Chains A and B, each alone.
Chain A
């Protein structure tokens, strides 16, 4: 035994302090890791939303061109107005406006057609068809510029890029600057993005068809999943005897809630589409599949809402002579309703964003209009995002982001509604 082995008060203090310092440093580090984890997660969120907003907001500004077009009787056949080349007429009018002459090969007008949307030609055709007396007059049509031209106005195609590696050449850029300066091209809020449906031309594509399709599909989902889910949950929570069968149903529901959504798509394809012959890519089929998918979550939410209603309510109702069914329908369910509605809205919001099962049942097809009915072909917002993301034209990229913004706005509205219902009606016992 040496003296050194017996710690003096001072050295003990020293070692303890040294160790404490180390332990506190460890504590600080640990806390720092936690903070960093949260900060990293929030950074991801900011990056995700920020990227989508920066990529998509420019869609909501569009550039429209207004041109007076002389409907030359020599070139439009009165008997058959559909035969004329209206795009050419518009292009040449734009050239005249620019003070240029078209060459014999029509090269210049071809170049003009690359910066104006063919929507202008369609508009002319429609007007002439409705009122053939317009032939021989000069009328002004207003329509979007081609998406590449819009990208130039928005600064996404730059003049500094070498001519070969951009879609528009210098002459076209000059023309566009001139048109802009002369006031023929004006910018404004892009209403047509919200009032048009899908199109092969980016500048004419909009989300209206997808919004209507989503709404119809969610309606089917809600009408099926909410009543069935609420009734099933009520039965399991309030009536079911505790036996093997109800145990199986319970385990079953918990497992269904975690089945990958794509498996529901396979189910829909095999059972609803092939076996029951529900029309493919229709809101009805999509709604059926999503209803099955939303069912377990609605059941689970309803059960927890029913559990939160205190037993005293039930006992009081039974005590004054109500039957069990009356107790549940007159007292327990109404009191659980806020929780039920919150759960239902949240699971519908989830269904709104679901894409994978819908791809299985043929919702990926190009649908140019608003869906005709519950059994007609339709597209929905998330699938529209997927379709546009796959498109090669650059103009569709910003539209994809804009469609995502629209989708997120709807989801935020639904989530806010859920929060509002909870805040407004929730009762603490």
Chain B
């Protein structure tokens, strides 16, 4: 609340500075603004920027990191009674102290004796620290704003190059915005690598990458039976691969053939109707596909296979029939097929672009030699477009590997190393979701393994994308 008041006050103050600086600049020329180096507004903006920008930045930084500063200061000198606690108990203790100080809901832990007095002391200190940090940041902000006006206001005069200075500020803003993209990548890599590194300290990396058993159960008590989980990710990789293959078997032919038809055969009218319709398919949220897979496609497939099984039982394929009778809703085929439907528009629109980029002269040449259209497509257009189409398919593979909702809702949780599409498999993304939607403890390998999986996923999709983008770039150059 205090922050909002401070920011509003700052805004008003900057606006006042703007007016004052603008007036000063105009007055300095004796009422002839044409004599100024820059337009009068630039003088105002220059002063307002010096007043507002550093102070606002400071206040916002304090708002973002103030809580962490408070916590660090609070934990700086724990009393003896608190030091005797274990690390998680200490965390709870300090969280409670802060919760009491800020009027929040403390945990239900009961503190007695020394701990109780320590808690009260810490709670009082937390409240004090919070006030200190909040009012301190506002005071510092006010100081910065005043310093800004001291720097900027005296400089204003007819010879002052206000526009260039303001544009310097804008250039800084531009660069800051562009760097956000780099920071995002850095943040992704840093967080994944950091948490994975912690995970790989508990579980050796070769065990994770090549282990054949996935069972991330961590014991609640140290002496519990079968206390150590198994973190071999091979079953997950196989499951992901299986579902991806099924999806590509659906998406690649349908997507490619529709792209070919749309770019080579369809009339402009058909094109203008069909393309937007396919794009609807691309715009449907993945959670909707998941719902469709779990409640429509799954039961249909299951009853279909059960029916086939029922026909076969007792015949010469009795074993197969028995197996088909027991097929579950959550087979790999369901998730894969629905994911394939989702990828159709992706494959088709990318391939469509690529096929259209093949120069018309190649087609004309082939047609003039008497080839039919399909022969032209098969023997001339497709070979020319092949690298681009490969890239499109690679991008689709990367999408399929990273897709989460469909598999979370329609595939199972059982980690099995199988390539049977009628079996239940689990994928990397499903496991990440399951591991992170329960209680999260950031010191157990169970939670951290999600980051190990995330890192693997990130590296694989990144490589697929880089290869695909390279191919597309090379291919574009060929015909440009």
**A interface residues, Cβ below 8 angstroms from B:** 23-24, 26-27, 29-31, 33-38, 40-42, 44-45, 47-48, 51-52, 55, 227-229, 231-232, 234-236, 239-240, 248-249, 251-256, 258-267, 269-271, 274, 276-277, 292, 295-296, 299, 323-325, 349-350, 352-356, 359-360, 364, 382-383, 385-386, 389, 397, 400-401, 404, 407-408, 411, 415
Contact = CB atoms under 8 A, between A and B. Distances in A.
15 contacts: A31-B374, A34-B262, A37-B261, A41-B281, A256-B181, A263-B192, A266-B454, A269-B436, A270-B191, A271-B191, A276-B64, A296-B181, A349-B283, A356-B408, A411-B285
A120 to B, nearest CB: 30
Contact of B187 (A47, A271, A323, A352): A271
Nearest to B38: A323
A349 to B, nearest CB: 7
A303 to B, nearest CB: 12
Interface in B294-312: 294-296
B288 A408 contact: yes
Given A45-B281, A256-B184, A235 B177 contact: yes
Q: Which size bracket describes the interface of B in this complex?
A: 35 or more
Interface in B328-362: 341, 344-345, 348
Contact of A404 (B167, B291, B461): B291
Contact of B433 (A295, A296, A356): A356
Contacts of A385: 287-288, 291
Given A42-B274, A262-B457, A386-B290, A249 B466 contact: no
B255 to A, nearest CB: 8
A356 B436 contact: no
Given A255-B465, A266-B451, A415-B283, A27 B372 contact: yes
Contact of B374 (A27, A51, A292, A408): A27
Given A30-B374, A252-B181, A259-B462, A270 B291 contact: no
B442 interface: yes
A354 B285 contact: yes
B365 interface: no
Nearest to B465: A258
Interface stretch (B12-20, B210-218, B397-405): B397-405
Interface stretch (B21-29, B113-121, B152-160, B168-176): B168-176
A266 B450 contact: yes
Contact of B253 (A37, A232, A325): A37
Given A231-B178, A260-B403, A271-B191, 5 more contacts: A27-B373, A31-B265, A277-B68, A353-B284, A359-B408
Contacts of B457: 260, 262-263
Nearest to B450: A266
Contacts of A261: 402, 404
A281 B13 CA distance: 35
A331 B285 CA distance: 37
What are the 3 tightest A-B residue pairs by CB atom distance, in nearest-first order? Answer: A260-B402, A34-B261, A353-B285
Interface string B443-462: 00000001100100110011
Contacts of A231: 173-174, 177-178
A292 B177 CA distance: 12
Nearest to A382: B287
A47 B171 CA distance: 52
A235 B178 contact: yes
Contacts of A31: 261, 265, 373-374
A256 B185 contact: yes
Contacts of B461: 258-260, 263
B432 A262 contact: yes
Contacts of A51: 292, 296
Contacts of B440: 269
Contacts of A256: 181, 184-185
A282 B426 CA distance: 29
Interface string B199-232: 0000000000000000000000000000000000
A47 B277 CA distance: 13
Contacts of B291: 52, 385, 389, 400-401, 404
B280 interface: yes
A23 B188 contact: no
B264 to A, nearest CB: 8
Nearest to A267: B188
A386 B287 contact: yes
Contacts of B256: 37
Contacts of B188: 259, 263-264, 266-267
A36 B277 contact: no
A30 B260 CA distance: 10
Most buried by B among A33, A253, A274, A323: A33
A270 B193 CA distance: 11
A260 B401 contact: yes
Contacts of A324: 167
B195 interface: yes
Contacts of B454: 262-263, 266
Contacts of A325: 167, 170-171
A415 B182 CA distance: 29
B409 interface: yes
Contact of B295 (A264, A352, A389): A389
Contact of A23 (B67, B258, B280, B372): B372
Given A258-B461, A386-B290, A295 B184 contact: yes
A262 B433 CA distance: 8
Given A232-B174, A323-B167, A34 B286 contact: no
Contacts of A41: 254-255, 258, 278, 281, 341, 344-345, 348
A262 B281 contact: no
A48 B341 CA distance: 10
Interface in B396-428: 398-399, 401-405, 408-409
B194 A270 contact: yes
Given A353-B286, A355-B287, A40 B254 contact: yes
Contacts of A411: 283, 285
B377 to A, nearest CB: 7
A252 B187 CA distance: 13
Most buried by A among B257, B260, B286, B440: B257
